[in-house]
Amino acid sequence: MEQSIARILKDLYRIDPALRDQEAVVKKVIRDLLAAKPDAKPDKRFERELRERLLSQFSAEKKRLSFSLASLWTAPAFKAVLGVASAACLMFVVYTQFDTGTQGVVSGRESPQAEPTDQVAAPYPAVAMTGENPPSTSSRAVAAKPATPKPATPKPAAEKKDKASPVMYPGSGAAAVPSAKSESLAGNFDEAESAVQYALDQADVVGPDDFNTEEYDRVVENAWNDPAHEPLSTFSIDVDTASYANVRRFIESGSLPPLDAVRIEELVNYFSYDYAEPRGDDPLAFDTELAACPWNEGHYLLRVGLQSRRIAERDLPPSNLVFLVDVSGSMAEANKLPLVKESLKLLAGKMRQQDRISIVVYAGAAGQVLPPTSGARKDAIMSAIDNLEAGGSTAGGEGIELAYQAAKEAFMSGGNNRVVLATDGDFNVGASSDAALVRLIEEKRKSGIFLTVLGFGMGNYKDSKMQKLADSGNGNYAYVDSMREAEKVLSKQMAGTLYTLAKDVKIQIEFNPAMVASYRLIGYEKRLLAARDFEDDTKDAGELGAGHSVTALYEIVPASGASATRTDLKYQQTTTSLAAASGDLMTIKFRYKKPDGDTSALIEKSISWKPVPLRQASANTRFAAAVAEWGMLLRDSEYRGSASWSQVADLAVGAKGSDVDGYRAEFIRLVAESARLAEAR
C-alpha cells in the first residue's frame, strides 16, 4: 500500500511541486475511507468516493497552494493520480479481503511491511459531564481507543427514479463498471500498471462532473385547478430560506442552478415584507391583495401575507440550545467547518446568562464536548468551538440521537429547547438514508425539542436530506454560504430562526367558483396537504418564528361569467350555493398550535373580489411577484407565460423600498447576472 501511495505523490509533484507537503493529506484520505468502510468492495462506488474525498481535501487547500482544480483535472497525470489512489485503496481491500490463506504473500510476492500509520482524528465519544464547567484542558474529548465504525450499507448499482426520489446534479448518468471488469480488478490490483491503465480508461468515462454529488428532490410544479372540481387549496406554511442562498451560490460562481434547486416559495420568503403585526391574542395576523398578473395578461395574482408577533431579544424566553456539529472529513473545506465555527460563535455571542449552550459533535462516532454552559460564559463556549476539527466518516444518525438526549437532559420548561444541526448532509454511517433519518426525527419531535438545520458547503451538498429533516423535526432550514448570510440567519433574524411562536400552521383557501375559473399555487409543492389534513391535529405542518413573515402567491383566472355548475358527472350534479353570488373571492382559514400545545386554534375570514392594477399594488405584492417570476425563469417553468428578465428587474427596482440591509439590491444584481448567464447558455 505504501508503495502505491508513493506513486500517487510522485504524480502529484509532477503536476505542482507546491504539493510536496500534502503527503499526510493523501494518506489520511485513503485511510479514513478504509476505516469508514472496512467491508467495501473494489467497485465503481468505492473508487468514486475516494475521488470525491481527494478532491474535497485538495479544494480546501487550493487558495493556499495557488492551483486550480479545474486545470488540475485536465492534466493527464492527475487522472493517473486519482486512478492510483483508487488502486491503492483497492489493493489494500484485496490484501485484507481477497487473500485467503496466503499469510502475507499475494500473487506469489511478499507483502510489504506496513509502516506506522498516521494517527487518524479520533472520534468524539460520549463523555459523562455534569455542571456548567467545560473540560479544563480542552473542550474536545479524545478517545483512548477509536470506536469501530459500522460499515455502510451498499446501495444498488442502479436505482429507478420517480417523482419522490432525489436527483443528483450532475453525473448521475455515468456508466457503471461491468461486473466482469470488477472481478478482473480483484485479481490484478497488485499490479500497479494494470490499475493505472484502468483508472485512465475510467477517467474518460466518468469525467470531472462526477465529483459533484449534490442531491435535490425533484419539484413537480403545481398545476391549474378548477374550483368547481377542487375548491380547496390546503398547504403547510414554509419559512425556510435555503433555496435562495443556494441559488445565489450557483449564480455567483458563474452558473445557473439545477432546476430542482429552485423552490419558489423559499426565494420569495427569503425577504421580509411590511405586514401589520397581530393586535389580539393570536400570535399571527394576515392580509391579502389581488393585482393584475405581470406575466399573463388577463390573469390575477393573489398575495397572502402572514406576520407573527415580534418580540424584543431581551423579552425572549430562556434557551436550551444544543449545537450538533458535523466534524467528518467532508467538512474540512474552508466553506464548511471553518464557516460553521464562525457562524456558531456569532450565535453564541447573542446568548444571555439564562441561556444554556451544549455542543455535540459527530464523525465516525458522536460525543458531547461541551456540557450545558451559561450563555454568559463566552470564553468557555468560544474555546470549545475553536477546538473542533474535521476528520473521519459521518455517523449523523448517532449524532442526532445524542443531541436530542443532551437537549432533553437540560430541558427548560417554558423555554426554547432546540437542536441546531450544522452539516453538509453527507451522512454515511449508521442511520443515513432519508427514510431512516426522517423516522428518527419524527420520533424526537414528540419531546418538545425543535430543530434548526444549517446547511454548508458544495460539491457533496445533500439539500434533499436536510429539507426533509427540518420539515419533519418542527424546524426550519437555512443555507449558509458566507458570514453575511450567517449574520442574517443567526443574528439579525435570530428570534425568527430560533423561537417558535406557533407550530403546525396550516392554510386552507376555498375559492368561489362563481368568481374564479381556475387557480394555481406558486411553489409550496413539498408542503401540500390533503383537504382532510387541515382539521387533523395529528398532521405535522410548518412552524412560525417570532417576527417571521410568510408569503404565498396564487395565479388566478377570473370566471368571466361562466357557469359554476358542474354537469360532467353521470350520477350527481353539483351547483353553487347562494353565497357564491356574494362577490367573495374566497374564504381563508388558518390553523395553528401553541409551541407546547396539541390542539389547534382556527382563524377564518372571507375575502372580497377587489383587484387593482399592478402599478397600484403595494410594494409587498410587486416585489414578491418579481421574485416569483425570477424563480419561474430559473426553473424554465411551463407556467412562465410572458415572463422576462427585464420585467423582473423593473418590478424589483420599482418595489425596492428602503432596503436597509441591502438584500433587495443584491437580488436586483442577481437578476442581471442570471440574465447574462441565460443568454450565454
Q: Are 23 and 10 in contact (CB under 8 A)?
A: no
What are the sequence ranges of the domains in the chain?
1-107+190-211, 232-311+501-566+573-621+640-645, 315-498
Distinct helix (H) and strand (E) counts, the chain: 19, 19
192 neighbors 4 (Cβ within 8 angstroms): yes
Rounded-to-integer distance, Cα 574 and Cα 564, Å: 9
**What distance in Å separates the CA atoms of residue 51 and residue 53, rounded to the nearest whole number?**
5
CA distance 49 to 70: 18
Render pLDDT for 544-579 as a digit per residue (tens, 0 to 9): 999 999 999 999 999 975 555 666 677 876 777 777
Q: How much is the pLDDT for 462?
A: 87
Average pLDDT over residues 314-326: 93
Backbone angles phi, psi at 308, to 5 degrees: -95, 165
Distance CA 136, CA 133 (A): 8
* Cβ 422 vs Cβ 343: under 8 Å: yes
**Model confidence band, residue 47 (pLDDT cutoffs 50, 70, 90):** low
Q: Where are the alpha helices (DSSP H) in 296-395?
A: 337-348, 378-386
* The CATH number, out of the four listed (3.40.1350.10, 2.60.40.1230, 1.10.10.370, 3.40.120.10), of the domain defined by the range 232-311+501-566+573-621+640-645: 2.60.40.1230
Residue reference for cell 491503492: 88
* pTM of the predicted model as reported, rounded to 2 decimal places: 0.70
In angstroms, what CA-CA distances link 166 with 207, 295, 369?
Answer: 21, 30, 34
Whether residue 249 has pLDDT greater than 70: yes
Pairing of strands 300-308, 549-558: antiparallel
Instruction: Give the pLDDT confidence score for residue 438 in this predicted structure.
Output: 80
Lowest pLDDT segment from 208-222, 307-321, 618-632 = 208-222
d(CA 112, CA 100): 17
Q: Which residue type sits at 681?
A: R
269 Cβ contact partners less than 8 Å away, ≥ 6 residues apart: 238, 239, 240, 241, 549, 550, 551
Phi, psi of 187 (to 5 degrees): -90, -15
CA-to-CA separations, 145 to 44, 138, 590, in angstroms, rounded: 32, 18, 54
> Amino acid identity, residue 550?
V
List, for residues 509-544, the tens digit of each pLDDT value. 999 999 999 999 999 999 999 999 999 999 989 999
The string of pLDDT tens digits covering residues 626-653 is 999 999 999 999 999 999 999 999 999 9
- What confidence score (pLDDT) does residue 252 get? 95
Provide CATH code, domain 315-498: 3.40.50.410
Ramachandran sector of residue 474 (left: φ over 0; alpha: ψ -120 to 50; beta: rest): left
**Per-residue 3-state assignment (H helix, E strand, C coil) for 82-118:** HHHHHHHHHHHHHHHHHCCCCCCEECCEECCCCCCCC
| Sequence letter at residue 58 | F
For residues 255 and 533, the answer to whether their CB atoms sit within 8 Å is: no
Chain CA centroid to CA 306, Å: 24
**Which residues face 69 on adjacent strands?**
none
Percent of the chain with pLDDT over 70: 66
**pLDDT tens digits, one per residue of 111-149:** 333 333 333 333 333 333 333 333 333 333 333 333 333
The C-alpha cell 382559514 sits at: 589
Distances (CA, A) of 249 to 210, 482, 485, 625: 19, 10, 11, 22
Query: Helix 434-444 and helix 396-409: axis angle, to 10°?
Result: 0
Provide mean pLDDT across the span 602-619: 96
Is residue 463 within 8 Å of residue 215, measured between CB atoms?
yes
Mean residue pLDDT of the chain comes to 77
**Statement: residue 614 has pLDDT above 80:** yes
Is residue 164 pLDDT above 60, yes or no?
no
pLDDT at 201: 43
Cα separation of 542 and 544, whole Å?
7
- The pLDDT value recorded for residue 21 is 58
Q: How many residues belong to the chain?
A: 681
Confidence of residue 68 (pLDDT cuts 50, 70, 90): very low
State which of 29-43, 335-349, 383-397 shows the largest mean pLDDT. 335-349
131 C-beta neighbours (distance < 10 Å), count: 8
Report the distance separating Cα 407 and Cα 502, nearest Å: 20
Cell numbers that stand for 395 in this block: 455517523
Of residues 619, 476, 603, the one with CA closest to residue 547: 476
Q: Is the pLDDT of residue 269 over 60?
A: yes
pLDDT at 172: 27
**Rounded alpha-carbon distances, angstroms, from residue 223 to 167, 233, 269:** 21, 12, 21
